[in-house]
Amino acid sequence: MDTLKFVALSCLAWACGSSAVAAPQGDAEAGRVAFAAACARCHQVGPSARAGFGPQLNGIVGRRAGATTDHRYSAALKNSKIVWTEQSLSRFIKDPEGTVPGTSMRFFGLGYTDRKVTDLVAYLRTYPPLQGRAKQQP
């Protein structure tokens, strides 16, 4: 009986621990809706994406901040040494000025809950880097 309790408690501890460690995946479709509602005014994604008021966001996760050649970034962002991970991108979306003081991005994240940001990042992950133009600088 003691062995059975030990095994049961061990399984319970493992299950709780593994779910707490797992990173949220996000809902890319919900992220698409969020992108269209707020981000698409300044940013583009997709095969024909180009920089506009903001840079194109293909391949953003894993890219160094300020690294595409088709957008004029603020000195603050270029010098930030940030590599966009899901975590750093989430922080920046929620509070651009607090994450990179002096950035030119003007987005206040009003109504962007943790879930909405996770969904948005999941959507952005669906777009690989562009090939042949707007390349990343080393």
Is 138 inside a domain boundary? no
Residue 94 lies in a domain: yes
Residue 43 inside a domain? The answer is: yes
Tens-digit pLDDT profile for residues 51-100:
999 999 999 999 999 999 989 999 999 999 999 999 999 999 999 999 99
In a domain, 101, yes or no: yes
φ, ψ at 102 (rounded to 5°): 95, 0
Domain residue limits at 75: 26-124
Q: What is the pLDDT of residue 132?
A: 61
Q: Residue by residue, what is the 3-state secondary structure of 40-101?
A: CCCCCCCCCCCCCCCCCCCCCCCCECCCECCCCCCHHHHCCCCECCHHHHHHHHHCHHHHCC
Given a cut of 80, whether residue 7 has pLDDT beyond it is no
pLDDT tens-digit readout, 20-37 = 444 558 999 999 999 999
> Is residue 16 in a domain?
no
The CA-CA-CA angle for residues 111, 113, 118, to 5°, reads 130
Instruction: Tell whether 78 is covered by a domain.
Output: yes
- The percent of residues in the chain predicted with pLDDT above 90, rounded, is 65
> Residue 93: which CATH number?
1.10.760.10
Question: Is residue 119 one of the residues assigned to a domain?
Answer: yes
Domain tally for the chain?
A: 1
In a domain, 10, yes or no: no
Name residues whose C-beta falls within 8 Å of residue 122's C-beta, 6 or more positions apart in sequence.
25, 26, 27, 28, 31
Rounded Cα gap, residues 108 and 57, in angstroms = 18
